[in-house]
Amino acid sequence: MDSLYELSSRAIRRIYDARIKTPSVLDTDTYFPGAQRFQSAWRQIRQEALAVMKDAQDIPRFHEIMPAQAEISASDGKDWRMFLLKVYGQDVRANQAACPVLTELVASTPEVLSATLSFLAPHKHIPRHSGPFRGILRFQLNLEAPVDADGRPGAVLWLDHQEHRLANGECLLWDDTYPHEVWNHSDQTRIALLLDVRRPEMPLDLRLLSRAVTAGVGMVARWRGFA
C-alpha cells in the first residue's frame, strides 16, 4: 500500500491537478451513485462493525499497515485502527467473512477499489495531510458518531477550510488530495466506513493511468499479505 505514494509521483499529481478541476466535496448522485446502497444499509453495516470492534486489539493501527503513515497515525499515542476488507481490488477474505452484508455491497459495486472500517479512538487527532492521487475519491459513511459536550457529532473532518461533522448514517464524498485533518473530540470511538472509488468520466489517458497505478498497488498489497 505504501507504493501508492511511490507510484503517484509529483509529476503524476501535476498531470491530474492540471486537468481535473472539481471541488473538495462532490455530489454522490453524479460521482458515486452506488453511495445510496451503502447509506440505506448503514444500520446493518454498523452492527457488523460493532461486532468487529469487540476484538479491537486485534485490528492493526494504520501505521502498522502502512509504516510511511506513522507521522499522521502515530502522532499522539492514540489509536487509529483500520479493518481492511478490500485493498485496491484485492479481497481480504478473512476480514470479509466477519462482514457479509458489507462484503456483498462492495462485491456488487465495481467502482469500489478499497473498503475499510475505520476506528478512531477518543480524542484522537489526525494531523493535516493530503492524498497523492486524484484518480480516486473517498466516500465516508459514519456508523458510530458519538457526540461532544455540545451535543454535536464529536468527530470533525476539516477539509479545504470547511468543517464537516457527520452524524450516524450520514455520508460525504470527498477528494482527499485537498488538505484535511480529523479530530475526535468525544469520549468514545468513532466508527466510519471508508471507500475508495474510481473517479468517473476522466479522459481515456487518465483512466488508463489510474488503472495502472491502482493495479500496481493491489499487487503490492497481495505481496505484503493483506489479501
Q: Which domains are assigned to the chain?
A: 3-223 (2.60.120.330)
Is the pLDDT reported for residue 17 higher than 50? yes
Contacts of 72 (CB under 8 A, 6+ apart): 62, 126, 127, 129
Classify residue 225 as exposed, middle or buried by CB count within 10 Å of its CB (0-12, 13-18, 19+): exposed
pTM value? 0.87
CA torsion sign, 122 to 2 to 180 to 41?
negative
Q: All 3 cell numbers of residue 159?
A: 477539509
pLDDT: which is higher, 45 or 16:
45
pLDDT of residue 57: 87
Q: Which tens digit of pLDDT belongs to each residue from 64-100?
A: 888 878 888 988 989 999 999 999 888 999 999 999 9
Tens digit of each residue's pLDDT (9 = 90 or more) over 154-181:
999 999 999 999 999 999 999 998 999 9
At 205 the pLDDT is 62
Residue 177: phi, psi to the nearest 5? -75, -15
Do residues 217 and 7 lie in contact, with contact meaning Cβ atoms separated by under 8 Å? Answer: yes
> Do the Cβ atoms of 24 and 130 come closer than 8 Å?
no
Question: Is residue 199 pLDDT above 80, yes or no?
Answer: yes
Task: Say which residues have a Cβ less than 8 Å from residue 203's Cβ, sequence separation at least 6.
Answer: 19
